[in-house]
Amino acid sequence: MTLKPYLPIAVLIGSFLAGGLTLSVPGPAMAQSVRTLPDFTDLVEQVGPSVVNIRTLEKAAARGAQNGAPDEEMQEFFRRFFGVPMPSPNAPRQQRPNRPQQPEEEQPRGVGSGFILSSDGFVMTNAHVVEGADQVIVTLPDKREFKARIVGADKRTDVAVVKIEATGLPAVKVGDVSRLKVGEWVMAIGSPFGLDNTVTAGIVSAKQRDTGDYLPFIQTDVAINPGNSGGPLINMRGEVVGINSQIYSRSGGFMGISFAIPIDEAVRVSDQLRATGRVQRGRLGVQIDQVSKEVAESLGLAKAQGALVRGVEQGSPAEKAGLEAGDIILRFDGKVIEKSADLPRIVGSTKPGTRSTLQIWRRGGTRDVSITVGEVEAEKPVKKAVAPTEKPASSLSFKVLGLTVSDLNEAQKKELKLQGGVRVEAVAEVAARAGIQEGDVILALANAETPSVQAFEGLVAKLDRSKPVSLLIRRGEWAQYTVIRPQR
């Protein structure tokens, strides 16, 4: 037996210092197994001139800390992961009695990062970097400073665009996020803790990470800290593939998990901000939830997919289209809804006023529903359910389901805007384990409507006690499915 010697450590160190360590496996396939550690120097030279530092100022009267409480800026630091608050060194520590009110002055508020979108001075950053700022100052890598105008900011995606009066600026190249692969090397440039032009690197840890309503984030292990926010995430071709936006942290500092907004999503938002100063998004007016495996099986769906409609807003496009609580939306204009988070993203990117088609699952079968997409507006507070004002006429117990139910009285029907249903008066055993509560209204059992206790009783009599059964329940203004395993 012949032992092959290890590569001498001096050669390993020499190769690393020469600009990149190359490891190879001896044998015929050596040419196919070469791996080289990346060199980021060319990328820094290529993209670095396009990355800017962003300082924000706010108008505030000079004041001191009260009762030893932390400054508002320090509270802001703990409230956000990004944007380093900077307490003013000129603010007096105490306010003398009877002293006239100090005039407002611009005080440092925070610092973040950004990058040049176009040579004529449009700069992209995060919305939370410029939120609440009375003045935005952009500093280029060559130390030139410009007062910037906020073109527009979108809180839902955390994307903002500012404009400086300059020309001939080095704009970034926008990459193709669909080509980005998990495990691929990426690099970030920004101003962590106010340290300009700081370069960090790592790999893509995951794609399509769900952390928000409208954006599937890129997860990386690139070191990101307060002040990096709004800076670019760059691939090995020198293209921007994301905006560094969030971190997962228990301390306020980097812990190995960071998130970036995909650049294709950000560019779509920035195009609207530059055109109109705001972002239009489509809406249906539904409250949705995930479809669990148990619910899918009990309803006869081939797999757990789609968005479960828990509630329909009054006067919304969904109500006008005839959508009901308990419907499962499977497709939107032919696009498959794999999980509930897909629906607001697809609908949100649809222009308000568009006539679209939904494929829904209702009572054991699919049907198409035509709907005119509305526009996202300010969120409305959810109304609390009103306690019944009339005592139920009679109730009936079903031990097999652990339920005691009664017919809805007229006041309850009017309050809930229902034609029928049975109200849960008591729960025990299997019903309690399924999460059913007193006061819930059962709208359907095993895909069949339950307009009355009599109808409910007939459906219970036909149940196959060896199989789980689905119930569509209404709680307050929202509806959801639950699954019960009947007692034998």
Residues recognised as catalytic: 128, 158, 229
Query: Quick check: 392 and 425 in contact, CB under 8 A?
Result: yes
Triad 412, 418, 424: Cα angle to 5°: 55
As a whole number of angstroms, the distance between CA 181 and CA 173 comes to 18
Query: Quick check: 284 and 269 in contact, CB under 8 A?
Result: no
Largest alpha-carbon pair distance within the chain? 95
- Tokens 């249903």 sit on residue: 421
Integer-rounded Cα Rg, in Å, for the chain is 29
Number of H helices, E strands in the chain: 11, 30
CA of 69: how far to CAs of 88, 97, 107, in Å? 15, 19, 19
As a whole number of angstroms, the distance between CA 446 and CA 399 comes to 17
Residue 466 burial (10 A CB sphere; 0-12, 13-18, 19+):
exposed
Query: Quick check: 418 and 441 in contact, CB under 8 A?
Result: yes
Query: Quick check: 77 and 85 in contact, CB under 8 A?
Result: yes
